[in-house]
Amino acid sequence: MMRQYELVERVLRYDPKADESLLNRAYVYAMRAHGNQKRASGDPYFSHPLEVAAILTDLKLDDATIATALLHDVIEDTEATRAEIDQLFGSEIGVLVDGLTKIKRLDLVSKKAEQAENFRKLLVAISTDIRVLLVKLADRLHNMRTLEHVPPASRRRASEETLEIYAPLAGRMGMQAMREELEELAFRWLHPEAYRTVRERLDRLTDNNQGLVGEIRLSLIEKLGEAGFAGDVTGREKKPYSIWRKMENRQISLEQLSDLYGFRVICKSVEDCYRVLGVVHTTWRAVPGRFKDYISTPKQNGYRSIHTTIVGPRHQRVELQLRTQAMHVTAEYGVAAHTLYKDLTERAGTNGKAPSSDAPRDMGPYIWLRRLVETLLEGDNSEEFLEHTKLELFHDQVFCFTPKGRLIALPQGATPIDFAYAVHTDVGNSCVGANINGRQMPLSTALRNGDEVQIITSASRTPPAAWEGIAVTGKARSAIRRAARDTLRRQYAELGRRLIVSAFAKIGVDYTDDKLRRVLSRLTHKTVEDVHAAVGRSELPIGDVLRAIAPGAAPPPAPAAAKPRNRYEQNPAAEEGWFNLSKVMGLKFRWPSSGGTGSGDPEIGGSGRGIVIRGVRNDIPVTFEPGGAVPGDRIVGVLTQGEGIRIFQIHSPRLSEFEHERWIDVTWDVSDEAPERFPARIMVTVLNEPGTLAQIAQVIGEADGNIDNLRMLHRGADFTEMQVEVEVFDLMHLNRIIQGLASKSVVSKVERVFE
């Protein structure tokens, strides 16, 4: 175990102005706090934070980060508190240590939910100070290096988490060396047989190609020397995990991989990088489609380099990377290469203000992280956020441009919808179309590198929920879900308000929002809209609202059991006072009213599509009862708790189970241009003869009906009674099927049934 003075000396070697006293105090405090705690390996627990600190000294980080590494587990695993850390080491280190402390006593239903919530907390802390991430990655790296001492289940879980989250996160932050080691360690434990196989075959291949890397390196140095360049050339074999991933993705064997060797040329300047590229391409044949210029178009994590693949000596394919020394340092260490943290912190002061414009938070990878955290804070489901974070971490990138030349980096497979939300959330929410390279294209089009994308917007547009299945970025999906929730909330609030107005009209009391606002505290809701939405969702009884506003008023009389049906029988729907429920669904509705209170009201949602059926989640859900209702039937809608609006046929015996105040007048508004099938049930009594079922199916099929389900209810010696669930276009279509069945000699009886 490293001694105290050894750690201090390592820091002073690259930072002579480091605070020795801080490092000594942190060392002693952490060692005493962890006391006799042991790791799974049997080593003193303090050896772990000490090794984490040592890893960070290799990255030449500031003294505050090293002290944080020593203290990063004390709040979580010892009796130490955040207040004590603040008092002894300052609030700066206290914030860093707290950001690395997992959330305790989580009341969550699954390990995945706990993982997601802790990752959520970590990312928020990282977005405030990138040093939290550097300590966390070093912490994870040392844990992975000592993974053989933990139980197999924990080993697998840690390896999965490393491959899914921490290795890609290190890559996104530009820390390639850290990423490669994390991937190798996780691969070794997660897929031990695959790791062993790839390693053995690589060793055999290396033996067969003895001296190949050295030969190619010398050949490159010679050719560059002839052209007057003295670049530093290094070569290496690709890592087992990188090779295995390519084999998995391409479904090929290791022998079929053509770029097992990679070489790097460190040039003196950017101009030299392009000159060396010219020398390489005129000396050896370039492989088409394998050239990428990340100098002119850097990756989102700040990575800059030229990549090309050539057919080099021995006819071996070789990948070349051309970069300057500064680019190389950034490529290997990413944000950790910018050892400006202490100076930036001092310039920012201790008042919590952000560092100046040259701080890491304005670098490419940090901008990506900030956007990720913005998406997180807008959502309300941490597991969903974790899923989308993984998607963004794993996607390769495409680079597209706005008409004004602004560069937008997106994951591979991104669509114009993702592009619109990357520009701005308001642009995404109002998007109605897109021009790609001057041509109008579908919003589902996958974007390619170099595309110029112009988003067409409309102020009256809201994003349909179906877009969530098209978008690939977490930001776009989160914004679409949020817009859907807002739309749904507005519709429930409108529905609830109309129900309240109707109820007050029945008892002869005028309702105003001001009256409701004065009694919000009694109803335990913060806003008038909250109350309206709660009533619309059936979470708050209307009676509670009546008693809160007009405690002395008599409740509205309950209708007799037979009255609701007579009301519909005697009062056919008139056009005035009816509103479009859904052109897709083919319904119109009006709210329960007294004295025409519903007449003349605007359409719900403002776009003519207030409520949509079958999975369109940005509207109030509408479902049909199993008994079925088809256009031509007289129908009633019932507002139910948690299920939206349920549609009943007027003769359904189940209608009497619901309070009349929840009934909504409904009628059909079908379109001949977009016919849709609706469910219905029929009971058929048939003779027990061979081929009877085939005849039933033939009649329904020839009439263009669709059998959704069929059940044998009663089977006797001579007759069988079966229930057939069919989908038809309207009542006329259903009657035609019933008549066709009744005309068959094997059919004794056929009739429509309701639940």
Which are the catalytic amino acids?
76-77
Give the integer Cα–Cα distance in Å for 35 and 237: 44
CA distance 151 to 140: 17
Exposure on the CB side of residue 597, measured as CA atoms within 13 A: 17
Tokens of 198: 């790839």
**Residue 161 burial by Cβ neighbours in a 10 Å radius (0-12, 13-18, 19+):** middle
Residue with tokens 């489609």: 289
Give the integer Cα–Cα distance in Å for 134 and 334: 10
* Burial of 228 per CB tally in 10 Å (0-12, 13-18, 19+): exposed
**Shortest CA distance to 323 belongs to which of 304, 309, 310?**
304
The answer to whether the beta carbons of residues 609 and 618 sit under 8 Å apart is: no
State how far the alpha carbon of 325 is from the alpha carbons of 295, 331, 337, 340, 469, in Å.
13, 10, 12, 18, 43
Q: Residue 79 in contact with residue 71, Cβ under 8 Å? A: no
Nearest to 127 by CA among 318, 344, 374, 359: 374
96-99-100 Cα angle (round to 5): 95
Distance CA 626, CA 47 (A): 65
**Residues in Cβ contact with 494 at an 8 Å cutoff, skipping those fewer than 6 apart:** 532, 536, 604
User: What type of residue is 427?
Assistant: V
Comparing CA positions, the residue from 130, 158, 144 lying closest to residue 333 is: 130
Q: Are 334 and 365 in contact (CB under 8 A)?
A: yes
Nearest one of 301, 395, 370 to 123, comparing CA atoms: 370
Nearest to 332 by CA among 166, 183, 175, 181: 175
d(CA 179, CA 186) in angstroms, rounded, equals: 11
